[in-house]
Amino acid sequence: MSQSLANFAGPALAGWLVQLVGAAATLTLDALSYLWSALMVSLISAADEPPSSIKRPHPLRDIASRRLVILKKVLSSMTALV
C-alpha cells in the first residue's frame, strides 16, 4: 500500500515542490535526503554472531521424520493446505 501511495503522491509532491522552491533547490533537497539516509544506514550496527553450539538434526533423521508426515493421510492433507 505504501508503494502505491508513493507512486501516486510522489510526482504530485515533487511538482509542487519544484513550483514552490525551484528545480535546483528541489534537487538539492533530494540529494540531502539521500545523504541523510546513507548516514542513518551507516549507524545501524551489525547483528550479533549466532551461537556456535546450535544442534542440527541428522539429515537422515530429518528426511525420515518428513516421510512419516507424508505417510499419514491426515497429516499430509493438512500440510498440503499450508
Length of the chain: 82
Element (H, E) at 48: none
The dihedral formed by the CA atoms of 12, 14, 17 and 21, expressed in degrees to the nearest 10: -140
**pLDDT, tens digit (0-9, with 9 covering 90-100), for 28-73:** 999 999 999 999 999 988 777 766 676 777 777 777 766 666 666 6
Q: Give me the percent of the chain exceeding a pLDDT of 90.
A: 32
Tell me the three state secondary structure of residue 15.
Answer: helix
Which pLDDT score, from 0 to 100, does residue 46 have? 78
Which pLDDT score, from 0 to 100, does residue 70 have? 62
* pTM (two decimals): 0.47
Find out whether 69 and 76 touch, Cβ atoms under 8 Å: yes
Helix, strand, coil content of the chain in percent (nearest 5): 75, 0, 25
